[in-house]
Amino acid sequence: MSQGSAPRYPMVLVPGMLGFIHLVLYPYWYGIVEALRRGGAVVFAVQVSPLNSNEVRGEQLLARIEEILRETGADKVNLIGHSQGSLTARYAAAKRPDLVASVTSVAGPNHGSELADYLHRHYAHDSLKGRLLSGLLRVINALMCLLDTGYHGPKLPVDVHGSHHSLTTEGVALFNQRYPQGLPETWGGHGPEEVNGVRYYSWSGTLQPGKTDRGRNLFDGTNRSCRLFAKTFVREAGHCDGMVGRYSSHLGTVIGDDFPLDHFDIVNQSLGLVGKGAEPIRLFLEHAARLKAAGL
């Protein structure tokens, strides 16, 4: 990406569930922020509650957007959300479209996650197994907060049940009734390109034998986790990234939904140990140029 192809507005990267900015020195958006900045883009990787509802996270994001606008003097921002971060970004844009130029969903569960549905059925929050899982997530969250060297704000609230319910098919259906902007009218289709002055985009990946299970992914433990999680999918069996279904991810203009990337590879996590032929950073650079071309 050349200096001339940098977007007009700052790019704000919003993490998913159990997200962070830096765990000690390790960034959530591994190599992506630096690549975008080298191309001249103004980029902010932000933090919201790692475990909470879309609405709570969305209000936190709105407060952070206002800070960024004051700091940069920009009129709007381009939001890019990964996983639950996509729903968080959608909420912010629906509430304050005057502050948002675009929303881009990267592997976002815009119609819910079948993995979340499976956990809801087998690990109900009021069951013993559910309470044990909730306790484990709280411990992981507390440890990650201690290790996050990129966030220096106030302590963020935790709501494990709210976070989980916000990702189920039922929970996202309720969310979509309130905030339908950018959603396709038909399953697997494209959504409207622009709503209330906000442009909507999405892309996602799928697990592909011969690609996502080879290359550097042979040394990537998260890829093995995604392959295990994929076994919980029924409606989109064989068409998911391990956590989000191919068609469930659709929002606005669908840039692609079958890139050879699992749910973590798509933001270049695990030190960039991605599968055969995968180039997640290139997708972000191309999108920055796309936003620039659209005047965003």
Judge whether 49 and 73 are in contact, CB under 8 Å: no
- CA 213 to each of CA 43, 88, 180, 218, 229: distance values in angstroms, whole numbers, following the listed order: 31, 30, 35, 6, 14
Residue linked to tokens 């630096």: 34
Point out the catalytic residue in the list 165, 250, 263, 287: 263
Q: 68: burial class by Cβ within 10 Å (0-12, 13-18, 19+)?
A: middle
126 as an active site residue: the answer is: no
Phi, psi of 87 (to 5 degrees): -70, -35
83 as an active site residue: the answer is: yes
Strand pairing category for 77-82 and 11-14: parallel
Name the residue among 84, 93, 90, 82 with its Cα closest to residue 112.
84
Judge whether 112 and 248 are in contact, CB under 8 Å: yes
Tokens of 283: 């997708």
Interhelix angle 169-178/84-95, rounded to 10 degrees, is 20
Tokens of 45: 């990787």
Point out the catalytic residue in the list 213, 241, 257, 262: 241
Judge whether 199 and 87 are in contact, CB under 8 Å: no
Point out the catalytic residue in the list 49, 53, 82, 83: 83
Judge whether 216 and 280 are in contact, CB under 8 Å: no
Q: Give the active site residues.
A: 83, 241, 263
